[in-house]
Chain A
Amino acid sequence: MSGEQPIHIVPPVNSLRMVRTLMLVTSLCGGLIVAVWQWTQPAIAANKKVVLERSVRALIPNAAQIVEYDASAKGITPAKGDPAAGAVRFYAAYDKDGKLDAIAAEGAARGYSDTVRVLYGYRHACECIFGIQVTQMKETPGIGDKIITDPAFLKNFESLDVSLTPDMKSLFNTVKTVKHGTKQFGWEIDAIAGATITSKAVGRGINDSAQRLLPLLLPHLEAVKQNGGMQ
């Protein structure tokens, strides 16, 4: 720049103006967010409920009513917000007469690409898992996504043994995914050939969830056997 530099005097009131503008803008924005948040919360909650109930009904077709509970060391409580630390969320499916048909819960584990989330159904009468619904997965199309469609793989979950030890503190046998064709026991899952990692994720997710949920749930199962038994 040629010529003389004009002396640049910064008036002290400038910083006040900056702060004032920032505060004004932030309040405006904050107010906008709160307003839209409150407006959309009911719709979002309804959406989530619809998605959940759709998955549970796909798993347990007879479910007339689905109630969410949290199981923790203190017992079973109706679900509220996010589960507390150490508590496990499960869904009780009641038939038309209000009797407990089955329990559904979610398990998750990392697969090949990202998390694989599975909803599994449990019945105390057989002490087994009778079916699964994959609720979230981003596995490789045509390879990992066979866990949703492969009939031989899904057969693993028609009667997956998850019985507890006599003291009800843990599963008698760890649910494990084994190499394709080597399944021997009722608590093992036969992996899909060529999609071992994704198959193992399903196994680990179910094992992790069942190991945490069943020891907390079964001692208090009576409380939820009838719909309305819990206030």
Chain B
Amino acid sequence: MEHETLGQIFIITVLSSNFVLAMFLGLCPFLGVSGKLETAVPMGIATSFVMLVASLCSYALNQLLTHFDLEFLRLIAYIAVIASAVQLVEMVMKKFSPALFRALGIYLPLITTNCAVLGVALFQTARDYDLAQSVAFSLGGGVGFSLALILMAGVRERLNLSNLPSVMHGTALSLMLAGLLSLAFMGFGGIGVAR
């Protein structure tokens, strides 16, 4: 596989290969937390941090497992590392920002079941990225996820005041919005790909 530079990987993952809008990862929190801007931003940051930690740890784990020919334990190992990373983030947040901790509520431990976090680990393994590329990939994933979340929150906040048939409100509406956002992001197609 041709070598992709770090900048390329980052830009492609944020824009044209956006985790939420193009790869369908992280939809549960995307639809659940994007109702308000003030919860969307910390959620994005928390998830990005967990993604970075998960990426680093799974890279190290993968090297270890491959060395001992234990690839079949990969999934269990990855999910264990992610659960621990989320615990860590919860503890840190509880200590430094209890208000935020309460605002995020149940969604914080749910980062464990966020497809985007496990997705980072799985995709970087499948694409055989080295350490630097994995970091660029997870950073891109986090920024892309947060970007999609913030955009969605901004639009939904405004839609709350609009005149839509009541049957539309809720997940159906969020999905339509996500579809429009996804369509818009398709305009970034080809960005960052080598000439």
Contacts and interface: CB of A to CB of B under 8 A. Distances in A.
Contact between chain A and chain B defined by CB under 8 Å:
yes
Interface stretch (B45-53, B133-141, B165-173, B187-195): B187-195
Contacts of B157: none
A173 interface: no
A201 to B, nearest CB: 8
B12 to A, nearest CB: 7
Given A30-B73, A34-B72, A110-B12, A204 B190 contact: no
A205 interface: yes
A4 B17 CA distance: 57
Nearest to B66: A82
Contacts of B193: 110-112, 197, 200-201
A57 to B, nearest CB: 24
State the majority secondary structure of interface residues on B.
loop
Contacts of A33: 72-73
B2 A37 contact: no
State the majority secondary structure of interface residues on A.
helix
Contact of B190 (A34, A108, A109, A197): A197
Nearest to B75: A33
A115 interface: yes
Contacts of B12: 110
Contacts of B4: 110
Interface of A: 26, 29-30, 33-34, 37, 108-115, 197, 200-201, 204-205, 208
A33 B190 CA distance: 40
B106 interface: no
Contacts of A109: 1-2, 194
B140 to A, nearest CB: 14
Contacts of A114: 17
Given A33-B73, A110-B193, A205-B2, 14 more contacts: A29-B76, A108-B2, A109-B2, A109-B194, A110-B4, A110-B194, A111-B193, A112-B189, A113-B17, A115-B127, A200-B193, A200-B195, A204-B2, A208-B2
Given A108-B1, A110-B12, A37 B72 contact: yes
Contacts of A200: 193-195
Nearest to A37: B72
A112 B190 contact: yes
B72 to A, nearest CB: 5
Nearest to B190: A197
Nearest to A201: B193
A110 B123 CA distance: 14
A204 B3 CA distance: 11
A108 B190 CA distance: 16
Contacts of B189: 112, 197
